[in-house]
Amino acid sequence: MTNGSNTGTISNTGRIESAAFEILSELSEFTATSYWEDGPADYLYNRASKSGLGVSVDEWGNVLATKDGDDPTLPGIVFVAHTDHPGYEVVAQNGSKLTLKTLGGVGIAAGRPGTNILVIGDNDERIECTVIGSESPEGDFSKSREAAGWLGTDTVYAELADETIKLGDLPRPVVPDLPDFSLEDDLIKMRAADDLAGCAAILAALESIIDTPIDGNVYGLFTRAEETGLIGARLAAENEFLPKNTIVVSVETSSVLPGVEIGEGVVIRTGDRVATFDYEAEAYLSQAVHKIKSANPNFKIQRQLMSAGGCEASAFKAFGYKVTGTAFPLGSWHNRGESGVESEFISQDDFVGGAILIAEAAKLAGTSPKGVLARLAEWPLEEADKLKSAQLNR
């Protein structure tokens, strides 16, 4: 499935890879529209519980999976991803005509006439529908972040393929009419890779370390309604769902930017559109990379400030946590393809490599890893005498 550049030398690699793809393909079958992500959240809860992880849910529906460490008083590490994806919801029906509201950062092409969408019925049936128009976004929001524009939270109008269908209680979630999941040309293509890919990578990594002794607690936090304003993450951070000394790692699926390429490795994210992150937290990732590369020099990694969007690390940073992040470079972000509404896509190797990185970083929970800066301070300055001599002879 992968080209081997990120696999084969770290323990449990095969287990991580097979679990990651299984979890992601199964997650893809659920509706993930913001506020309608009970399907992915319930799946993650149930699978984590069956795997032997401790699982809890806060009052807002955020799911927390826990691998207990030997000493829970030590600083733990949490890997955070969100269960939602931008979409629409039906707010009114008049015969075959529907009125929709967008939820999250929906691309402007999603409001163009002729765009095929699916209304999700009470029994999860998929009801065919077609966009017939949308209201023009007001102000500068539509082009505030992307030249192609955004719909914002504006109204979209659609028409049911079968005019006899009565949707019943409203609102109802709506998703783009795109394939759930496929593997093609070393790429994973999905309706909602952002951020089901992050959720799958985290859970696969945690499953792989169930029986591994670790000093501190390791957590997987799966948050709600990220796309509408980091809401689940902000609530979890403000109410200290996790101890304040927990290191926070956002695991995102983020739009490709200059300097980042699909297939060149998972990205260590130094910041987002909102904030720069903390080196003390990044040291866990750099130490894990150091260990992986010592066994597999061909392991691919990128490092970049991913500024196209905000992520959950910024929500936790705002409430005093030490944060860092990773990102899978993503094509057709929020289904904004070159020809309209298209499947998102990420590299299979980037995905597997990211899950391996999470597993190795998780093993450092409760420790104080040495990052690159610490190693620089310890390296001998063998040329010091030459430099001193040169100075004296000036």
Token pair listed for 203:
């859970």
Q: Which amino acid is at 370?
A: K
Q: What is the mean pLDDT of the chain?
A: 91
| pLDDT of res. 171 | 97
More confident residue, 381 or 295: 295
pLDDT band at 5 (very low <50, low <70, confident <90, very high): very low
Q: Give the CB-side neighbour count of residue 37, counting CA atoms within 13 A.
A: 35
What is the DSSP code string of 218-231?
Answer: EEEEEES--TTTSH
C-alpha 178/C-alpha 172 separation (Å) is 18
On the question of pLDDT at 387 being above 80, the answer is: no
Domains of the chain, residue spans: 13-85+180-374, 87-176
More confident residue, 263 or 108: 263
For residue 146, give Cα distances in angstroms to 75, 151, 270: 39, 11, 21
Centroid of chain to Cα 356? 15
C-alpha 155/C-alpha 391 separation (Å) is 70
CATH 3.60.150.10 fits 13-85+180-374, yes or no: no
| pLDDT of res. 381 | 76
On the question of pLDDT at 375 being above 90, the answer is: no
Close Cβ partners of 383 (under 8 Å, ≥ 6 residues apart): none
Query: pLDDT by residue (tens digit) across 198-216?
Result: 999 999 999 999 999 999 9
pLDDT band at 9 (very low <50, low <70, confident <90, very high): very low
On the question of pLDDT at 166 being above 60, the answer is: yes
Centroid of chain to Cα 329? 10
* Architecture of the domain whose range is 87-176: Beta Barrel (2.40)
**What letters, b where the CB count within 10 A reaches 16 and e where it falls short, cover 52-66?**
ebebeebeebbbbbb
The terminus-to-terminus CA distance of the chain in angstroms comes to 60
Q: Which of 1-5, 276-280, 354-358 has the lowest mean pLDDT?
A: 1-5
pLDDT band at 27 (very low <50, low <70, confident <90, very high): very high
Closest CA to 351 of 188, 229, 206: 188
On the question of pLDDT at 185 being above 50, the answer is: yes
| pLDDT of res. 143 | 44
| pLDDT of res. 7 | 37
Close Cβ partners of 97 (under 8 Å, ≥ 6 residues apart): 132, 157, 158, 159
Q: Which amino acid is at 217?
A: N
Query: pLDDT by residue (tens digit) across 125-143?
Result: 999 999 999 886 555 544 4
